[in-house]
Structure 1
Amino acid sequence: MRSTATLILFAATLGGQSFNPAKLIQPPADSWPMFNGDYSGRRFSTLKKINDSNITSLTLAWVYRINPGGPNPFGGGVIKSTPVVVDGVMYFTIPDQVWAVDARSGRDIWHYQWQSKGGIHIGNRGVGVYGNWLYFETPDCNLVSLNLKDGKERWHKPVCDLDQMYYASVAPVVVKNHVITGVSGDDLDIPGYMESHDPETGELQWRWYCYPKPTDPEA
């Protein structure tokens, strides 16, 4: 993955790596704490150090080449995620794997690899963060929670049924005490849905289908 000075300038001082959820509402200019930057979904940064007067002078700061750890029978070794930057650490994914690197230098901090049972490995969109925890989905239909500091797994919970040809690739969104996830597989004519999980335990809180089932009232 190539990273320019744009990403480096987003970095703040490397701190204790405990993320304040309130920053998701109005994140500081030196952070990109969720898939869309903030809840507005605008993907707009208030960073002013890079502008139309100096953008042509940007140069390459560092390059990080991922090492997926050998041949993957399921494929998916291409970065399609939006990096999340919190307290000077950049988090990014490919299917089944998460990296944390120093956003200023590209130095490795930790790497996590999920032992996949299959699924469609066409890409992963990224992670969600909340407090000391990171969340991401796996192609074989799991929501995984990791320690933000060292990448150790805390828990994993199913979010879909691999046997029904669902797969999971969405970047989770954390809203208060809800980790919102989604599923993929609409090209196989199966109903899509969103789920909410408890950020501490991973337990399912609710599921909402994108269209009503025939048995639902007034469907």
Structure 2
Amino acid sequence: MARFLLCAVLAGLFSLAAAAQELDPKAIANPVPGSWPTYNGDYSGRRFSPLAQINQTTISRLNLKWSFAAGIRSDTEYVPPIKSTPLEVDGVLYFTLPDHVWAVDARTGGQFWHFTWKSSGGIHIGNRGVGIYRDWLYFETPDNHLVSLDKTTGKLRWSVEIADLDQEYFSTAAPLIIGNHVITGVGGDSLDVPAYLESHDPETGKVQWHFDVDPTPG
């Protein structure tokens, strides 16, 4: 079975920088026009872009600029469709499938790098994307790990387990970066175990705090 990613990049949609720079967490609150540095675009959750190039007058003139084939296939396992929200920082798009992350040129569709996580199992139902803090990228895996990559090279920095796979927790959310916190969330409805949120140190992955979504008995 194969699933392909089609990224339609429209002329004038992105404002590209000449060289990659660190993503200051403060920039997520007020994104540079043309960028999309976090899931939902910014902290408001509106998924609204202030760009005005595409409107009722210009929309009829839009054409496909490029497409990208992820090329992930399996004859024995289900390969889920793309469910991630691509992030755009300094002219680079970052997007995911379960166990996979790509960085591609937003202008041409050329691949910069592709990272594959060696999974130990889990529920491969989808992945919502990545979080970015300065030069580092973060994503969750189906076997319940938080993984950090170098966003320029795609090289692994570290990984930490964020939930017990034996209890059938699942991890699909895009990590949210707030200040120097990497916020993750896991669900556990299969065995009726409580879902929870955690904050992790962006440098090490160490847990900073833990919050159970369900109240404790009593």
- Coarse TM-score class (shorter-chain normalised): over 0.9
Deviates more, 1:104-113 or 1:46-55: 46-55
Task: Specify which of 42, 49, 52 is matched with residue 53 of structure 2.
Answer: 49
Q: Secondary structure at the match of 2:7?
A: strand
Segments of 5+ residues of structure 1 without an aligned counterpart are: none
Partner of 1:133: 136
Q: CA deviation at 1:50?
A: 1.1
Task: Specify which of 162, 167, 171 is matched with residue 159 of structure 1.
Answer: 162
1:140-198 residue CA offsets vs partner (Å, 9 max, x unmatched)? 00000000100000000111000000011100001011100001232442211100000
Partner of 2:25: 21
Aligned Cα root-mean-square deviation (Å):
1.6
TM-score with structure 2 setting the length: 0.93
Name the aligned partner's letter for residue 98 of structure 1: V
Task: Specify which of 65, 79, 90 is matched with residue 69 of structure 2.
Answer: 65
Partner of 1:174: 177
Deviates more, 1:10-19 or 1:172-181: 10-19
Name the aligned partner's letter for residue 28 of structure 2: L
1:83 and 1:144 mapped to 2: Cα distance? 17
Task: Specify which of 97, 100, 103 is matched with residue 97 of structure 1.
Answer: 100
1:16 and 1:137 mapped to 2: Cα distance? 24
Q: CA deviation at 1:14?
A: 4.2
TM-score with structure 1 setting the length: 0.92
2:207 and 2:167 mapped to 1: Cα distance? 19
Count of equivalent residues: 214
| Percent identity for Structure 1 against Structure 2 | 52
CA contact (8 A) 2:167 2:191 kept: no
1:141 and 1:73 mapped to 2: Cα distance? 22
